[in-house]
Structure 1
Amino acid sequence: MKNLRPLFFGIIIGALATYFFCPRQAAEEESVAAKAEVVKPKGVITVAQAKELNYNWTKFRKPAIDSITQRMVGKDDYRSAWWSLQDVEDYIAYIKQETQNDGEIFTGLRVYFGVYGEHISSSNKDLSTMFIVPTGAKKVEKASMININLQGGNRDLTKPPLNDGIGGGGYPQ
């Protein structure tokens, strides 16, 4: 019986050490993750700046574009495109998966202007659209002291772009 006392004493000390040290580490990691703040991305502008940009576009571009569209289609052209948050999040997740499978790095998004042509429904025929193209680079896995990538990290990737945004008017004044 005397030989079992150190064993029981060791088990109790081990259990107490596990109880006090392990849960605290996990709780601290969760606390740090919960406290992580969202950082405002660079390039965020004020609403007033957005209204000024839209006003300038309306003043300098809209008359020329709408005059052409009125002659061709008989109505004003689209000035914006809208995608739901869910569509954008799903698209980003899809592109992340596709680039990972193909050995590419997904670094950003580029928005292009386009015009619907002859092979589209009559309501959108010859009107403007915008579509989103993923950008990135090929992964380089070769060991090297100097990593030179001549194409940069923002070339258009050959992944399916996102279109079918809802066309609309200008920024609300």
Structure 2
Amino acid sequence: MKRSLDEMVEKVLEIIEACLIHEKESSDGLLNHVKTIISVYNNEYGVDEPAIWIVQHPTTRKGDDNLSQSLLVNSTIEFVCVEWDKDPRIAEKKARELATKVAKSIKKNYRKIQYAKFNDRIIKNVKFNTLYPVGEIDVEGKTQKTPVAGIILDFEFIIDWINCC
């Protein structure tokens, strides 16, 4: 299997989104109450909450950076979560709870989904990075801004510089 940097980042994103959709569409899924999963950086449409926004951060090397061999890399992905409540403190708590459910959904499903989609172990490991309040967002149909929370996870995978192109 070709393991170019771009192809592997795309596969990681595909696995992540499939994990979230699986839990969203399951009647007993951790995310079955979520209305919107946004997987593009610039969203020009309104946010119908509860919502999860997938935001890519830089992909960086782990360990040796020699281009003549395979390389372990880390792709950092942030999941910005919003769930409206008229009380901003409750909305922020709901957003944090949704963020932790995102992490659980990925950890629960990424192994079986990557094998089902690619018959290969694409993601070697998923690691917790950060949970934090992000700010606030306009939600369609609501007059006040809603607090959002973000969880950042690191996804480790291997690329092959020798056979990538």
Question: Is the TM-score greater than 0.5?
Answer: no
Structure of higher RCO (CA pairs closer than 8 Å, 6+ residues apart) = 2
Of Structure 1 and Structure 2, the greater strand share is in: 2
Which has the higher Rg, Structure 1 or Structure 2?
1
Of Structure 1 and Structure 2, the greater helix share is in: 1
